[in-house]
Structure 1
Amino acid sequence: MKHGFGIIGAGAIAEVHARAIDTIMEAELIGVYDHNPDKTTSFSMKYNCKAFDSAEELCKDEKIDIICVCTPSGRHLEPALAVINAGRHCVIEKPLEVTLARCDKIISAGIQNKVMVSGIFPMRFSRVNIELKKAIDEGRFGRLVMGDAYIKWYRSPDYYKDVKWRSNFNSSGGGAVMNQGIHSVDLLRWFMGKVEAVCAFAGLVGHENLEVEDVAAATLKFENGAMGVIEASTAVNPGFYRKIEILGTHGSVVIEEEKILTWKFDEERDTDHILREKYSGSNQSGGGVSDPKAISDIGHLRQLLDILKALDNNHPPAVDALEARKAVELVLAIYASARNKRIVYL
């Protein structure tokens, strides 16, 4: 079945969506809308699609059945509701929204209108992360002891000056954790399970005149008894690949972006050597460590394929809205702990 896509919001991340859609044989980008008419026009010309004059007009187009919401993080709710209430399936770029109340309005609307709502978390579709999740589910780690995520990136002052919403708390929902680190926050929770308690600190160290944090560190206690940390920053120069460490009583894995640094278990399998060889090379993309545009669209492509498969087979996508909400909940717990100087229990 051929699916028609629309995009609301024509910023940098919308281009990742457009490139991914263009790669899928069963998909076609029909049109785009942005509140800035010039951006709408230039985007439509670049990606050979229709420029719509309003979100409402785009949502009513009969050729479109799926719409990607690519507006700023704290401005997802209103376009998402327009999409959902028009009976269109809705794909929302991370984060789902920046408060749980706004997330819940989206989720409720999706249920009431019987449409699919999915949140974008492309790192879940990385081949090496899928292998890691499989090893966890098979019990190869024994008892999980620690789970850590490190996102130590660099964003220049111009990154915040050129796009004003990035430094505004209401529009962005936060800084290094909500907008850069949330991919790894989601991944860590997917690997390790529910977080029971958080103790965190956050601040502004490497930039000036921002309403959002450029550094944060959180200690986590997971429901299964394991512990861990999340460290996130946009002030670390020159920036480093994000890293995930999953450590257990019978084995440990350390992954840097798409590269395996450690893959070691008490019970060695023939496939372990193959995996270490396959993922031992250099990372293929810049990973966004210092350039927000230096990211691959392969993760978005894989996730959109999962969404289309879910629609065609009438089952939920891998990351539905309820699943996407979980990462927002953890980020907000980190912020609450840092703000109130206390442990937050989830």
Structure 2
Amino acid sequence: MSRKIRLGIVGLRFGEDIIRHLLPPYPDHALFEIAGCYDLNTSRRDTVAHRWKLPVHDSLEAMLEDKSIEAIGLFTPPAGRAALIQTIVEAGKHVVTTKPIEFDPEKLATSLRVARDRRRVVHVNSPSPRPTPDLRQIDQWREQFDMGRLVSIRGEVWASYCERADQSWYDDPVACPAAPVLRLGVYLLNDFIHFAGEPLQIRPMTERLRTGRPTADNATLQLRFANGCLGSIFASFCVEDGDSYRNSLILNFENGTIYRNCGPYRSTYGMRESEVTLVRGTGCRRTEAHCVMFDAISGNYLWSDFYQDILSDAPISRAYEARLLESARTIARLSSAEEALT
């Protein structure tokens, strides 16, 4: 690589984990230099800056005025993020941010249009600007084996949290609807949109089992798609079994089934890895099975792609813009659907 890109990090509750993964020994540290950090919580900002020996900025405006910083890692809560993206790109900076990107599709559309007009790069980890290897493999098999229509798509993800209320956006049922789906299952939701398109209908069901927050810790989401495909997502903070964050996925086609990270037997052990398996056959007899493993899974940050897009002056594509808006519209409908049930 010819040079490092100087990156400022905004929002350190989650952004600190990003910082850690952009420093040695992680390989992406060769692409980026953390050139500053900022958080509204000054105690958190100072603690993170001291821990990782980083420069401190006193405001987002101060960071945007720093001409040496080319890009901003924006890891604030999703509500109002579109306005922050627009402010950043209007200051001439590129943006990488996290899921869910925004609750207001119209405001997001405006910010993305400004980014495209100003030739600024905008990347999100989910949906990512390009399919990750696991999704590409599924797309390839789908075409290669003429698997027919997608009949059903199901996803599962869980972890074990025993959280307490802390007055963050995680405590707000409006800002964090169907909380396990929004916080964990959103990766699966964006995978569903990749394979089946934007859903026509969504229906959440939620419960509070052991959380100290006013928001749910156990949830399912039912979905219906235009081609007749039915989907479901189970997401929970109530399961501890050593298989957290696997993002299991089952796609049933007319002529076969594809699995990702399913079942009790594991060939991968990292939360950023995936095992994808194709099964075909007739009746009760399997005639074909293929298995491929990747050191990547959808939801990973594509740091190398972000780096290359900045260097090549590649603005956000209209196709990626459309995917981000599909995701935002679906998240907005999730909020409306849960409100209708209360």
- TM-score tier by shorter-chain length is 0.7 to 0.9
The verdict on how the C-alpha distance between 1:156 and 1:314 changes in structure 2, with shifts beyond 3 A counting, is same
Q: List alignment gaps of at least 5 residues for structure 2.
A: 262-270
The verdict on how the C-alpha distance between 1:209 and 1:162 changes in structure 2, with shifts beyond 3 A counting, is closer
Other-structure match for 2:11: 9
- Which residue of 220, 224, 238 maps to 2:223? 220
Other-structure match for 1:21: 22
Instruction: Report Cα offsets for 1:215-259 as digits up to 9, x if no partner.
Output: 332332222332221222223455753311111122211112645
Other-structure match for 2:255: 250
The verdict on how the C-alpha distance between 1:170 and 1:74 changes in structure 2, with shifts beyond 3 A counting, is farther
The answer on whether the counterparts of 2:185 and 2:235 sit within 8 Å (CA) in structure 1 is yes
SS in 1 for 2:161: coil
The verdict on how the C-alpha distance between 1:327 and 1:211 changes in structure 2, with shifts beyond 3 A counting, is farther
Aligned pair 1:327/2:324, yes or no?
no
SS in 2 for 1:169: coil
Other-structure match for 1:66: 71
- Which residue of 162, 184, 191 maps to 2:188? 184
The verdict on how the C-alpha distance between 1:137 and 1:190 changes in structure 2, with shifts beyond 3 A counting, is farther
Instruction: Work out the CA distance in 1 between the residues paired with 2:43 and 2:103.
Output: 27
Number of equivalences: 318
Aligned pair 1:116/2:121, yes or no?
yes
Instruction: Work out the CA distance in 2 between the residues paired with 1:187 and 1:297.
Output: 8
Instruction: Work out the CA distance in 2 between the residues paired with 1:74 and 1:236.
Output: 28
Instruction: Work out the CA distance in 1 between the residues paired with 2:328 and 2:89.
Output: 20
The answer on whether the counterparts of 1:167 and 1:175 sit within 8 Å (CA) in structure 2 is no
SS in 2 for 1:62: coil
Other-structure match for 1:290: none
The answer on whether the counterparts of 2:220 and 2:232 sit within 8 Å (CA) in structure 1 is yes
The answer on whether the counterparts of 1:7 and 1:32 sit within 8 Å (CA) in structure 2 is yes
Instruction: Work out the CA distance in 2 between the residues paired with 1:19 and 1:246.
Output: 34
Larger deviation, residues 178-187 vs 202-211: 202-211
Which AA in structure 2 matches 1:82?
T
- Which residue of 192, 197, 200 maps to 2:201? 197
Aligned pair 1:141/2:147, yes or no?
yes
Other-structure match for 2:275: 260
- Which residue of 213, 220, 232 maps to 1:229? 232
Which AA in structure 1 matches 2:217?
D
Which AA in structure 1 matches 2:111?
I
Deviation at 1:162, TM superposition (A): 4.7
Structural mapping, 1:18-97, within 5 Å: 18-22=19-23, 23-24=27-28, 25-97=30-102
Instruction: Work out the CA distance in 2 between the residues paired with 1:111 and 1:315.
Output: 9
Other-structure match for 1:152: 158
Larger deviation, residues 170-179 vs 89-98: 170-179
The answer on whether the counterparts of 1:118 and 1:320 sit within 8 Å (CA) in structure 2 is no
Which AA in structure 2 matches 1:327?
S
Structural mapping, 1:161-180, within 5 Å: 161-162=165-166, 164-172=168-176, 175-180=179-184
Instruction: Work out the CA distance in 1 between the residues paired with 2:159 and 2:146.
Output: 31
Other-structure match for 1:288: none
Instruction: Work out the CA distance in 2 between the residues paired with 1:269 and 1:20.
Output: 42
Which AA in structure 2 matches 1:72?
P
Instruction: Report Cα offsets for 1:121-167 as digits up to 9, x if no partner.
Output: 27876543432233235454222211111223332133xx3573311
The verdict on how the C-alpha distance between 1:68 and 1:139 changes in structure 2, with shifts beyond 3 A counting, is farther
The answer on whether the counterparts of 2:206 and 2:220 sit within 8 Å (CA) in structure 1 is no
Instruction: Report Cα offsets for 1:47-72 as digits up to 9, x if no partner.
Output: 33311111101111111111010112
The answer on whether the counterparts of 1:245 and 1:254 sit within 8 Å (CA) in structure 2 is yes
Instruction: Work out the CA distance in 2 between the residues paired with 1:20 and 1:9.
Output: 15
Larger deviation, residues 206-215 vs 20-29: 206-215
SS in 1 for 2:47: helix
The answer on whether the counterparts of 1:77 and 1:106 sit within 8 Å (CA) in structure 2 is yes
Structure number with higher helix proportion:
1
The answer on whether the counterparts of 1:202 and 1:213 sit within 8 Å (CA) in structure 2 is no
Deviation at 1:311, TM superposition (A): 2.5
The answer on whether the counterparts of 1:74 and 1:170 sit within 8 Å (CA) in structure 2 is no
Deviation at 1:18, TM superposition (A): 1.8
Deviation at 1:183, TM superposition (A): 1.0
Instruction: Work out the CA distance in 2 between the residues paired with 1:173 and 1:227.
Output: 21
Instruction: Work out the CA distance in 2 between the residues paired with 1:169 and 1:328.
Output: 17
The verdict on how the C-alpha distance between 1:187 and 1:206 changes in structure 2, with shifts beyond 3 A counting, is same
Instruction: Report Cα offsets for 1:288-330 as digits up to 9, x if no partner.
Output: xxxxxxxx99922xx1211222233343568945423322322
Normalising to structure 2: TM-score of the pair? Answer: 0.79
Instruction: Work out the CA distance in 2 between the residues paired with 1:72 and 1:237.
Output: 26
The answer on whether the counterparts of 1:76 and 1:92 sit within 8 Å (CA) in structure 2 is no
